[in-house]
Amino acid sequence: MAGDYFEVEDVVKSYDSGIFRRILSYLKPYRKLVALIIIALMVSTVGELVLPIIQQKVIDEAVLARFLTIRLDKARAAAISTAAQAEIERLKAFPKSYIIDAYLFVPQNSKLRLPALVENELQDAGVIETEAWYVFTVENGADDPSYAVIEEHPDLFITSPLPPSSDYYAAAIKRSDLQALGTNVIAAVRHADISFIVRGALSLLVILIFVFICTFFQTWNSSLVGQYVMKDLRLALFKKTASQSTAFLSKHPVGRIVTRLTGDVETINEFFTSVLIAFLKDFSIMIGAFITLFILSPRLALVTALTLPPVLLIATISRTKARDAFRNQRIASSRVNAYISERLSGVQVVQLFHAEKKSSREFNERNAELLRANLSEMYVFAVFRPTVEWFSTFTTAVVIAVGSNMVLNLSLSLGSLIAFVNLISMFYFPVTDIAEKYTMLQSAMAGGERIFALLDTEEYIPDTGTKNLERRQTHGHIVFSDVHFSYKAGEEVLKALSFTVKPGEMAAIVGYTGAGKTTITNVLTRLWDIDSGTISLDGNPIQSIPLEQLRQAVLPVLQDVFLFAGTVADNIRLGLPLSDEQVMEAAKAVYADEFIRSLPEGYQTKLSEGAANISSGQRQLISFARVIAHNPAVVILDEATSSIDTETERLIQLGMQKVLAGRSSIVIAHRLSTIRHADRILVLSGGTIIEEGKHDELIARNGIYANLYRLQFGGD
């Protein structure tokens, strides 16, 4: 079944370090650009992680500005334990702590944490002030807006100089008194906080713009690198395929090789643009977010970490299920594609034998299998994504519950708690993204495996020739000596084949189908190498002649003429720097000029794919013109007139003597009318020569040739 063939093709690997390294090796020519991409990735990641930190700073130090207020009067100090007094002394050393009048103000964002027993003792003794205060620094003079407010309401503020400078002092006011002063006064007193908020907002804007620029640079250039790598891979694959032997090409369908150069290479592009960079970004965000959580609060970060094992377990199970679902989906998709291709190619047979219902039933079975495979893949992600989102929400809820208690206990600032919630969201998004891009990684591994399998294949004709063969000195003396050849081991096609073609001689080879006529063309041009024996050109074994020179000297016109999409003139030149006049001369030599000029644009007429817009006879004439333009020493006509109508055949026969003049030629034909005037006719049967002579001699001999002649022309 066609589906079974494609099933063998769809080998899916989840991860292969060897393939991964080989894919990355194609980045070497672009390592500077890759380094810049990684730098941009790191900068954008740091920028994204800094955003919650800035938010936390703005909230704690400007928006809320919460302080723990402790009374320092001697009466209360005498009523508390030595341990509690030691804690108060420790708090005095906190950064940005102020002693104003009989109060110690400790900023809550200092991550202070009082032992529970000490905190309860201080609260019971009335040492911790229950009313909220606002604490700030003031510069002496009219330049500070809060200075005038303090001068106007001295009874509401308490102040204390800040050593060693006398230009600044600390001030404090109860928040209830500050609220009563009105909006304008509040703005004057808190102008430093407002400035800090503005600077924080501008910092956020600048970082966001910078992150955008870095992300754009990273995305654009990773796509660019992907395109460059695709170009290199396609070129390497094309060169490799074009240099392989005909034996290799005969074992690999064209569709499979085209898939390697297109679909499989595209998966590598997706690997660089959608997988590799995304994985690096996701892992860096996860690691960075986790480190930032521990910096903000190790205690709360540990609570967050305890929720991770279930998520990692679910991600592992999901990855395994996704791999199996992806494999089944690829196999089912290949079966559907193979069935469609086969049935559409043979749709006329299906219709003629009334097999539409049977084909529809069989296609429905394969289509249903593909549906089940797709639904299975969808089911995996339909379960995984909501599960991860549930754990993300659950973790956020736990953090809010624990963090809120810590905020109330003065061991965590509210800004840190808000930053925690944002960082948890940043942490869980990459978890989902990595799992969903896992199928792309599998596809890249499978595509890379098939690409490198093709690149590692070494089935080519070795070009070891060192004997230079100049065209002007090539006479075209061909000798086959005891040649044995088989396409498959044990199934010889040529058996002890020996014959000679003298310079300038026209030798015709005839025989029944399967006698080995076309094989002679293949081994003479080294499309295949012989098993044993010797083939020589002008006394030189063809293995000693460089392939390029050999194939310039010996040029066949194959049975199936192939013309490329392009102009008629380009198909005659086929890479040679020939002028228009030389192209026309070659066409005139085979009487192709007249029909070419009758085309809509003459020699510049565009041929469609396979030259379907001209007749088979006209394609044959153009192929003859191409041979004449390339001027080989030896011409092989392999069934070259098998598809030509009578009128075109007459034109070729008129031009053949001129075309082959001065050249050795081997004409392989079923239509014996084209070879009656050959210098020698070789009759091939079972891979060896059994008759040899001129036309009349062989007819008189009444052997296989005479039998072929009578079968073709209806003689007795």
148-170 pLDDT, tens digit each: 899 889 999 999 988 766 678 89
* Residue 10: per-residue pLDDT: 47
- Binned at pLDDT 50, 70 and 90, residue 501 comes out as very high
Work out whether strand 506-510 and strand 67-71 pair parallel, antiparallel, or are unpaired.
unpaired
Distance, CA of 154 to CA of 140 (rounded, Å): 14
Give the pLDDT band (50/70/90) at residue 62.
Answer: confident
Amino acid at 273: T
CA neighbor of 678 nearest in space, from 505, 459, 534: 505
Amino acid found at 701: R
**DSSP states along 532-586:** EEEEEETTEEGGGS-HHHHHHHEEEE-SS----SEEHHHHHHTT----HHHHHHH
- The yes-or-no verdict on residue 199 having pLDDT over 90 is yes
Query: Quick one: CA dihedral 24, 28, 29, 35, positive or negative?
Result: positive
Largest CA distance in the chain: 143
Assess whether pLDDT exceeds 60 at residue 294. Answer: yes
What's the pLDDT band for 673 if we cut at 50, 70, 90? confident
Structure tokens at 10: 């769809």
Return the residue matching tokens 């708690």: 417
What pLDDT score does 194 carry?
Answer: 92
Confidence of residue 335 (pLDDT cuts 50, 70, 90): confident
- How far is 629 from 582, CA to CA, in rounded Å? 7
Residue 13 has pLDDT above 60, yes or no: no
* Confidence bin at 716 (pLDDT 50/70/90): very low
Q: List, for residues 380-422, the tens digit of each pLDDT value.
A: 778 887 888 888 888 889 888 888 888 877 777 888 888 889 8
669 pLDDT above the threshold of 80: no
pLDDT tens for each residue of 450-481: 888 888 888 878 888 888 877 667 888 999 99
Q: Which CATH architecture has domain 476-713?
A: 3-Layer(aba) Sandwich (3.40)
Share of the chain above pLDDT 70, in %: 92
Chosen CATH of 2-6+14-55+198-455 out of 1.20.1560.10, 3.30.465.10, 1.10.760.10, 1.20.1250.20? 1.20.1560.10
Three-state secondary-structure class, residue 479 = strand
Burial class (CB in 10 A: 0-12, 13-18, 19+), 209: exposed
Mean of all residue pLDDT scores within the chain: 84
CA torsion sign, 383 to 384 to 385 to 386?
Answer: positive
pTM of the model: 0.73
What is the model's pLDDT at position 518? Answer: 85
Q: How far apart are the first and last CA of the chain?
A: 48
Distance CA 19, CA 444 (A): 9
Nearest to 303 by CA among 222, 403, 218, 232: 403
What is the pLDDT, as a whole number, of residue 655?
56
pLDDT at position 247 is 77
Confidence of residue 644 (pLDDT cuts 50, 70, 90): low
pLDDT of residue 648: 64
The pLDDT value recorded for residue 9 is: 46
Torsion sign over Cα 253, 255, 259, 260: positive
Share of the chain above pLDDT 90, in %: 22
> pLDDT higher for 388 or 222?
222
Q: Is the dihedral of CA 676, 678, 684, 689 positive or negative?
A: positive
Per the CB < 8 A criterion, the answer to whether 625 and 575 are in contact is: no
Which residues, in sequence order, are CB contacts of 710 under 8 Å at separation 6+?
716
Domain boundaries, the chain: 2-6+14-55+198-455, 57-197, 476-713
Tell me the C-alpha distance between 237 and 242, whole Å: 8
**With bands split at pLDDT 50, 70 and 90, how would you rate the model's confidence at 112?**
low
